[in-house]
Amino acid sequence: MRDYIIETHQLNFSFGKFKVLHDLDLRVPQSSIYGFLGPNGAGKTTTIRILLGLIKSAPNKISVFGKDLIKHRVEVLRQVGALVEMPSLYLHLSGRKNLEITRTLIGNISKNRIDEVLEIVGLTKDAHRKVKQYSLGMKQRLGLALSFLADPDLLILDEPTNGLDPNGIKEIRELIISLNRDFNKTIFVSSHLLSEVEKVATHVGIIHKGKLHFEGSIDELRDQQRPTTLIEVNNSAKAIEVLQAQNIAAASVQNGTLKIEANDKPMIHQINSSLLNAGLEVYQLSPQQSSLEDLFMNITQTAQN
Amino acid sequence: MNHIIKGLRAEYLKTHQTSIYWLLLLCPLALNILVVLLLNEVGQKWIKGETNPWKVLYFFNYNLLAEFFIVLFIAMMTSLINQVEHKGHSWKHLYALAQPRWAVYVNKSLYSVGMLFFVLFYFALMQMISGLVLSFLRPDFGFQSRDLAIIFNFTIMLKMFLAALAIWSIHHWITFRYRNFSLSIGIGLLMLIFITLTINSREWIDYIPYAYVKQVLEVKREAVPAIFTQEVWLSLGVGFVIWLGGLWDARRRDIL
């Protein structure tokens, strides 16, 4: 069994003088749901387009299924299904006809497969309707159906829940989990919402301004969560000085409330005493368990600074 | 070869029962009806003496086609064929499928050029039906007693098709590349005005691909014209070079 389905090696890409990707080293394990996270403009879609050969890159930088993408493009794409941003659909045709066109272009797919994928995405009843009558969620599901029509081993999905209502998001999420669990697909899914990714992903890569800042399993990401304590005082500037004198740095300051990375009781006692001894009024000492969202924000903001 | 067969079938499925089909069916029909009405009213000005009325009919139709309609028709047909992909945001889907990049352009090209041939062939057939209609409306023209000049008709049609390939290659590339529906039609209109103004300056005519179709009708009516004349060769040469440019562009382009 191959360890990694996708590997990029020091992948760089520029639009003219603007560098979009900096030495990107991705490793997507087989049978994983890999959440590719990053704020808007981080380089997610560009990476996906490069992985699909839509944007040309230098040879020997991308390996998919152990093969160089540039040298074996057609061979590699035979095992890849994709949904890039909004789905590519012919609105004047029915859902079934859209699938029929892709089936014709790919070849060697039985007609029954169309019924199978329609069943999986829950569009059997609406297959005869023109796509222009579909809701956004239905279009997205049809886009997904197109992506795995050829039964590929790898699915690359770019923000598949974009623009969907909560119900639509839930449907797509369940579909992604089912494709991975029931059909053993490796799924590379990009998103700018950690809350979404953490519900489906087994592995995560966090990209910001074209650089990969974290890559690992979702558990490894959780391990990075550090407990914090919120401290509310009457003079936050003076409180920072007092804490700095004890080599304790404030992680952030917001509306006079300091956040520090610690929540063990002796430490909180020590901080409280020093603040009171310095003549400050302490209104609140509140231990917090930081969320993955905080961690994501922390990673991307640290990168920004 | 396999990619091409699959691609052509997919193109047919995409455009079946769309405005492209109506355009293909209605344009030749409308032009023929126009000519029938015209000849019915004032045909005696041209059909007199020993003149073969069938050839007059063919010349009328092909003249109208060459003067105005073929450029606009090609501009619109290529736009509609490629708009299907632009409107559906489907380029990324086509280029991400397991097929060579060249196949996307070649499939579209073959389908589009096939449509052009089909419509001209249908136009040639329609003219013969127009002649039959006129033979009932105006028996005095003598359609029923004269040679149908079928070879003449289809030779002109074939020459027209070949001489239009340069125009087709330009508009096919433009519409493949750019989403703007009116760009191709705008260029077509501009070029129509341009050649109407410059058609008499013979020294430039070989350099204007839009003028090749007009030169097709510079033949004597008495004999069947040769197919491979200068304007046909020029159209084939220019058209092929431009098509190669489009193919090169389609293979190297980034799909953003």
pLDDT in tens, A17-31: 899 999 999 999 999
Residue A162 has pLDDT above 90, yes or no: no
Residues of chain B contacting residue A146, judged by C-beta atoms under 8 Å apart:
93
The SS3 call for residue B210 is helix
Give the tokens for residue A158.
């770019």
Mutation test of the interface with chain A: which of B13, B19, B93, B256, choosing the one with the most A Cβ atoms within 10 A?
A: B93
When pLDDT is averaged across residues A95-120 and rounded to a whole number, the result is 94
Q: Do A100 and B92 lie within an 8 Å CB cutoff?
A: no
| Nearest-CB residue to B97 (from A56, A93, A106) | A106
User: How big is the A-B interface in CB pairs under 8 Å?
Assistant: 81
Distance of residue B249 Cα from the nearest chain A Cα, in angstroms: 13
Give the tokens for residue A118.
């329609």
| Nearest-CB residue to A56 (from B97, B98, B254) | B254
Chain B CA closest to residue A73: B98
Report how far residue A65's alpha carbon sits from residue A30's, in angstroms, rounded to the nearest whole number. Answer: 9
| Nearest-CB residue to B98 (from A74, A91, A104) | A74
Strands A257-260 and A250-254, bridge-based pairing: antiparallel
What pLDDT score was predicted for residue A208? Answer: 92
Residue A128 has pLDDT above 80, yes or no: yes
Report the phi/psi class of residue A296: left, alpha or beta, with left for phi > 0 and alpha for psi in -120 to 50. alpha
| Nearest-CB residue to B90 (from A75, A90, A104) | A90
What pLDDT score was predicted for residue A300? Answer: 75
Chain B CA closest to residue A97: B13
| Nearest-CB residue to B97 (from A55, A90, A105) | A105
pLDDT in tens, B43-94: 888 888 788 899 999 999 999 999 889 999 999 999 999 999 999 999 999 9
Q: Is A54 on the interface with B (CB under 8 A)?
A: yes
**Contact indicator for A11, A62 with CB cutoff of 8 Å:** yes
Minimum mean pLDDT among A89-93, A291-295, B155-159: which range? A291-295
pLDDT in tens, A215-259: 999 888 888 777 788 888 888 888 888 888 888 877 677 777 888
What pLDDT score was predicted for residue A2? Answer: 63
Minimum mean pLDDT among A189-198, B5-14, B231-240: which range? A189-198
Q: Is A53 on the interface with B (CB under 8 A)?
A: yes
Distance of residue A43 Cα from the nearest chain B Cα, in angstroms: 13
What pLDDT score was predicted for residue A247? Answer: 82
Mean predicted lDDT score pLDDT of chain A: 89
Chain B CA closest to residue A83: B93
Distance of residue A146 Cα from the nearest chain B Cα, in angstroms: 9
Gyration radius of chain A over CA positions? 24
Minimum mean pLDDT among A32-41, A99-108, A238-247, B51-60: which range? A238-247
* Phi, psi torsion values for A19, nearest 5 degrees: -85, 125
**Contact indicator for A286, A229 with CB cutoff of 8 Å:** yes
CA angle B110, B27, B75 (to 5 degrees): 50
What pLDDT score was predicted for residue B181? Answer: 86
**Contact indicator for A116, A96 with CB cutoff of 8 Å:** no
Residue A264 has pLDDT above 90, yes or no: no
Chain A CA closest to residue B102: A74
Is the torsion defined by CA of B201, B206, B208, B212 positive or negative? positive
Chain A CA closest to residue B85: A90
Return the closest-CA partner of residue A113 out of A101, A127, A126, A99. Answer: A99
B220-224 long-range Cβ contacts below 8 angstroms, 24+ apart: B221/B52, B221/B55, B221/B59, B224/B151, B224/B152, B224/B155
Give the tokens for residue A13.
């890409």
What pLDDT score was predicted for residue A296? Answer: 79
Chain A CA closest to residue B104: A105
Edge-to-edge strands of the sheet including A227-233?
A250-254, A257-260, A227-233, A282-289
Give the tokens for residue A274.
């020093």
What pLDDT score was predicted for residue A3? Answer: 84
What pLDDT score was predicted for residue B37? Answer: 94
Residues of chain A contacting residue B2, judged by C-beta atoms under 8 Å apart:
107
Q: Is A262 on the interface with B (CB under 8 A)?
A: no
C-alpha separations of A77 from A63, A67, A151, A301 in Å: 12, 11, 12, 36
Q: Do A105 and B252 lie within an 8 Å CB cutoff?
A: no
When pLDDT is averaged across residues B143-166 and rounded to a whole number, the result is 94
Strands A227-233 and A282-289, bridge-based pairing: antiparallel
Report how far residue B62's alpha carbon sits from residue B154's, in angstroms, rounded to the nearest whole number. Answer: 11
When pLDDT is averaged across residues A158-185 and rounded to a whole number, the result is 88
Report how far residue B105's alpha carbon sits from residue A239's, in angstroms, rounded to the nearest whole number. Answer: 67
The SS3 call for residue B219 is coil
More confident residue, B186 or A219: B186
The amino acid present at A249, given as its one-letter code, is: A
- Identify the contact set of chain B against chain A, taking CB-CB distances under 8 A: 2, 6-7, 9-10, 13-14, 18, 84, 87-100, 252, 254-256
**Contact indicator for A49, A84 with CB cutoff of 8 Å:** yes
More confident residue, A52 or A302: A52
Return the closest-CA partner of residue A64 out of A13, A30, A37. Answer: A30
pLDDT in tens, B111-127: 999 999 999 999 999 99
What pLDDT score was predicted for residue B25? Answer: 85
Report how far residue B58's alpha carbon sits from residue A78's, in angstroms, rounded to the nearest whole number. Answer: 51
| Nearest-CB residue to A78 (from B2, B95, B98) | B98
Q: Do A55 and B254 lie within an 8 Å CB cutoff?
A: yes
List, in sequence order, every residue forming a beta bridge with A29; answer none if it has no partner: A4
Q: Do B255 and A49 lie within an 8 Å CB cutoff?
A: yes
Q: Please name each of the domains of chain A with its CATH number.
A: 4-222 (3.40.50.300), 228-289 (3.30.70)
**Contact indicator for A265, A287 with CB cutoff of 8 Å:** no
Could you give the percent of chain B with pLDDT greater than 70?
A: 98
Distance of residue B232 Cα from the nearest chain A Cα, in angstroms: 34
What pLDDT score was predicted for residue A305? Answer: 58
Q: Do B96 and A80 lie within an 8 Å CB cutoff?
A: yes
Could you give the percent of chain A with pLDDT greater than 70?
A: 97
What pLDDT score was predicted for residue A290? Answer: 65
List, in sequence order, every residue forming a beta bridge with A63; answer none if it has no partner: A7, A68
The SS3 call for residue A59 is coil
Report how far residue A285's alpha carbon sits from residue A230's, in angstroms, rounded to the nearest whole number. Answer: 6
The SS3 call for residue A257 is strand
Mean predicted lDDT score pLDDT of chain B: 91
| Nearest-CB residue to A101 (from B14, B18, B100) | B14
Return the closest-CA partner of residue A291 out of A230, A205, A222. Answer: A222
Instruction: Tell me which DSSP letter residue B66 carries.
Output: I
What pLDDT score was predicted for residue A303? Answer: 60
Residue B108 has pLDDT above 90, yes or no: yes
ipTM for this prediction: 0.88
